[in-house]
Amino acid sequence: MIEIDGSYGEGGGSVLRIATALSAVTSKPVHITNIRSGRPKPGLMAQHMNAVKAVAELSNASVEGLEVGSTDITFTPKSLNGGVYKIDIGTAGSISLILQAFMIPAAFANSPVKIRITGGTDVRWAPSVDYVENVTLPILRLMGYKAHIHIIRRGHYPRGGGILEIEVEPITKLMPLNISDLQFDCICGISHSVKLPLHIAERQAQSAENILQSKGYKSKIIIKGSQNAIGPGSSIFLWTNGITPVSGSAVGEPGKKAEKVGSEAAKQILYHISRRSAVDKYMGDQLIPYMALAGGSCIKTSELTQHALTNIHITEKFIDKKFRVNGIIGEAAVIMVD
């Protein structure tokens, strides 16, 4: 039984997600304590509970303590079984964060896996589903990961109700990833509004394009509008068109001008571009478990985060590989694994 202190490092939900995902892949049971103990509302929220539930169903695991508010769980996996799965978060909790846990073991199931998740597609403090489609999957495909994503319906805070499906084909191993410098020739984007006037999405896009073009970058942002949603919302997502994309995004909020939403996304991607690194700071931490499973990988990230260091600590407990980091938190860094 591997023991994990859930308050280690940044002490958030990523400790839980990475630990249960790697437990499922390695068939090593894990006991996690002090889950989110430093947060205003400690313990499992609906989003975290459903992430564990999804991985548990995939790996036929038994789980003790799986309930909202729990700060202590024991996760005992068995075999990774393909099939069709469904998860309804019941809130606007992030679909993408559930996928961060589910996608790791799904690739090693005994047959194809399909999961349909209902929840939040574009929420604050989490990658959007556009990030998964246009950044996460293209980079993972370089490692041999095979998956396709379908965004069926958008879901924004506070009502959620977004729907996403992802199909993952089984593989036997991942290939090492070695990427350092950022290369691209255009910035792509999606600006959308649902159950809101289309001009909101147009203004978000125009604001972002004005900033990007003033810095000398070509951009192509697609405008999308829809009434297919439970509640209103908007967001904009930008990414570079290179082999390894970096990103910028922002989510609309009541009282927040569309022009500000667009400018926030543009400034974020310009920050990542300025670091000239192959992956942005979000992929810098998400890639850690995949790098360990593949072995022999080396990436340059635009910003070393506490999330990345926490994920390294958790990953090394499950997989007999050692990471090396050249850089300091807040700066561009090179992350390597034996």
What's the confidence (pLDDT) of residue 306? Answer: 95
Catalytic residue annotation: 307
CB 126 within 8 A of CB 162: no
Residue type, 203: R
What is the longest distance spanned by two Cα atoms in the chain? 55
Q: Which two tokens stand for residue 121?
A: 């597609």
pTM, to two decimals: 0.96
What's the confidence (pLDDT) of residue 38? Answer: 87
Alpha helices (H) along the chain: 13-26, 46-58, 95-106, 129-131, 137-141, 198-214, 258-274, 281-286, 288-294, 306-318
Q: pLDDT tens digits, the chain, 338 residues: what are they?
A: 999 999 998 888 999 999 999 999 999 999 999 999 989 999 999 999 999 999 999 999 999 999 999 999 999 999 999 999 999 999 999 999 999 999 999 999 999 999 999 999 999 989 999 999 999 999 999 999 999 999 999 999 999 999 999 999 999 999 999 999 999 999 999 999 999 999 999 999 999 999 999 999 999 999 999 999 999 999 999 999 999 999 999 999 999 999 999 999 999 999 999 999 999 999 999 999 999 999 999 999 999 999 999 999 999 999 999 999 999 999 999 999 99
What's the confidence (pLDDT) of residue 281? Answer: 96
Which residue, 175, 97, 185, 105, is CA-closest to 136?
Answer: 97
- Separation CA 187–CA 181 (nearest Å): 16
What's the confidence (pLDDT) of residue 275? Answer: 96
What's the confidence (pLDDT) of residue 321? Answer: 96
- Residues counted in the chain: 338
| One-character DSSP codes across 264-283 | HHHHHHHHHHHTTBSB-HHH
